[in-house]
Copies of this chain bind each other. A is one copy, B any other.
Amino acid sequence: MRADARRSRRRLLDSAIELILEIGGEPSRDAVADRAGVGIGTLYRHFPDKQALLHAVVLDVLDRTINQGESAVAESATGGEALRRYMHAAIDTSLGVVNIVHPLLDTPEWPERRTATEAMLDRLIVTGHRDGAIARDVTAADIALATIRFCRPLAIGLDPAVERRIAHQHLDTYLDGLRRRPNRSA
C-alpha cells in the first residue's frame, strides 16, 4: 500500500470519528471526505460500499477499546481499579461512536468482537470479585451496558470537550454508587 493511500485511509477514519461525535449520527460521505481533506472519489476507493466506512470506524474504535480493557486488567492492582480505568478509557476512545454501533450487530464481524469483549470483561469482573472490589452481583453485561450509556453523547448540541467532561463526571458518580451498594444490581 502506497504511503499516500495509507495516510488518506487513516484521515478518513479519524474524520469520521470526529464527525460522528459532533453530529451524533452517521455523517454524509461528502462531509467525511471534506473533513479529511480528500476527494469523495478517494473515500469510495478505500471504502467501496455504503456501510464499509462506518463498519471500519466501529471496528477500529471497538478494537482499541477492547485493548484498553486488556491493559487495564493487566496493569491494575485491583479489579475495582481496572474497572475504573477501563470505563474512563472507553469514554475517551468510544464517546459518540456507540451511536452508530447498532447496524453492525448483524454483520459477520460482530460475533468475534462480542466474544473478545466478553472475555475481557469476564477477566476484569472475576478479578474484581476475587479481591472484593466488585460486588458479586455485578456482571459483565452490567458493565457493558453502563459503558454504553456513558459513551453516549447527550444530543443537545454540547461541544465535544464538554461532552467528554460530563461523561467522565457522571461515570465517577456512578462508580461511587457501585461501591456503595454491594448487594444490588448494577
We find that the number of chain A residues with CB closer than 8 angstroms to chain B is 32
Across the interface, do A155 and B152 meet the contact criterion of CB distance under 8 Å? yes
How far, in Å, is A118 (CB) from chain B's closest CB?
A: 15
A149-B149 in contact (CB<8A)? yes
Pick the residue among B25, B102, B170 that contacts A156 (CB under 8 A). B102
Per DSSP, chain A at the interface is helix
> Would B166 and A173 count as touching, CB distance under 8 A?
no
Q: How far is B84's CA from A139's CA once the two chains are assembled, in angstroms?
A: 25
Task: Verify A169–B155 contact, CB threshold 8 A.
Answer: no
The smallest C-beta distance from A145 to any residue of chain B, in angstroms, reads 6
Contacts of A149 in B (CB 8 A): 149-150, 152, 154, 166, 170
In the complex, the answer to whether B155 meets A98 with C-beta atoms within 8 Å is yes
Could you give, for residues 122-158 of chain A, a 1 whenever the CB lies within 8 Å of some chain B CB and a 0 otherwise?
0000000000000000000000011011101011110
Task: Judge whether A101 and B156 touch: CB under 8 Å.
Answer: yes
Of B155, B172, B178, B186, the residue contacting A101 (CB under 8 A) is: B155
Pick from B105, B148, B154: contact of A148, CB under 8 Å: B154
A103 to chain B, nearest CB (A): 9
Assembly CA distance A157 to B155 (angstroms): 18
21 contacts between A and B (CB under 8 A): A25-B25, A98-B155, A101-B156, A102-B155, A102-B157, A105-B156, A145-B154, A145-B166, A145-B170, A149-B149, A152-B152, A169-B185, A170-B174, A170-B186, A173-B181, A175-B177, A176-B180, A176-B181, A177-B180, A179-B180, A180-B180
